Amino acid sequence: MNTGDRPILWRRSARARRLSLRIDPVLRQAVVTCPLSFSLKRAEEFVSAHSVWIDEKLAALPAAPRLVPLQTITLNDHEITLHHDPDQRRPALLQASRLTIGGAIDRFETRVLFFMKHQSAISLPPQLSQHAVTMGCHPTSIVCGNARTRWGSCARTGRIMLNWRLALMPRNVRDYVMIHELAHLTHFDHSPAFWRHVERFYPERRAAQNWLKKHGAGLLALG
């Protein structure tokens, strides 16, 4: 199907009642869902009619952090500059604000990601535990995951998952996400009572939500 150079994912659905179009901010592509009764020609015409909207939405997506030498990233509230040393034996070496990646340059990004995920797994659970003490709740377990569509989750068993990318965002936004998930241990829903509970421990939740709406897609596209 001719869609120019636009990244588009086409889906046929027996449940769809009409043609729909949305932007996937993580995969950075348009998603078109077509009822089985729709012809490809009609679907192509639909996309063509919305081509300007698609281009504008894709162009407006926040960029993912670039993991290249001399780039500065923020990890757990510390600015770190990335460096490459092909002769360094260690895959990654952090010294003060300098993170040096060893080995071939084609493994640079992979090794930076591995380092950040490892650091997140060490740093995030204790931060959540501190909030749990303040909130008087008791998660049964805390894990770091690689979800691409959410920042965290809370199971009825009390298990809390935190997206490793939380370590890349400002502390206040990270605090909001953690408090949000812990609040589900008291209210397993998004009822008014749940939001009152969140705001009891994080009154400025809307500012954090706005930050996530503006910058979150860029972080989720990373790795």
In this structure, what are the phi and psi dihedrals at residue 159, rounded to the nearest 5 degrees? -80, 130
- What residues are paired with 142 via a beta bridge? 160
How much is the pLDDT for 2? 41
What pTM was computed for the model? 0.81
| E strands present in the chain | 8-13, 20-24, 29-35, 72-75, 78-85, 92-95, 98-102, 141-145, 152-154, 159-163
pLDDT, tens only, 182-221: 999 999 999 999 999 999 999 999 999 999 999 998 999 8
The Cα–Cα gap between 129 and 78 comes to 21
How much is the pLDDT for 5? 65
The Cα–Cα gap between 182 and 110 comes to 31
In this structure, what are the phi and psi dihedrals at residue 42, rounded to the nearest 5 degrees? -65, -40
pLDDT, tens only, 40-80: 888 888 888 988 998 888 888 887 888 999 999 999 999 99
The Cα–Cα gap between 81 and 99 comes to 6
CB-count burial class (<10 Å; 0-12, 13-18, 19+) for 162: buried
Q: How far is CA 183 from CA 130, 174, 190, in A?
A: 14, 14, 10
How much is the pLDDT for 141? 97
In this structure, what are the phi and psi dihedrals at residue 208, rounded to the nearest 5 degrees? -65, -40
DSSP string computed for 125-167: HHHHHHHHHHHT---SEEEEE--SS-SEEE-TTSEEEEEGGGG
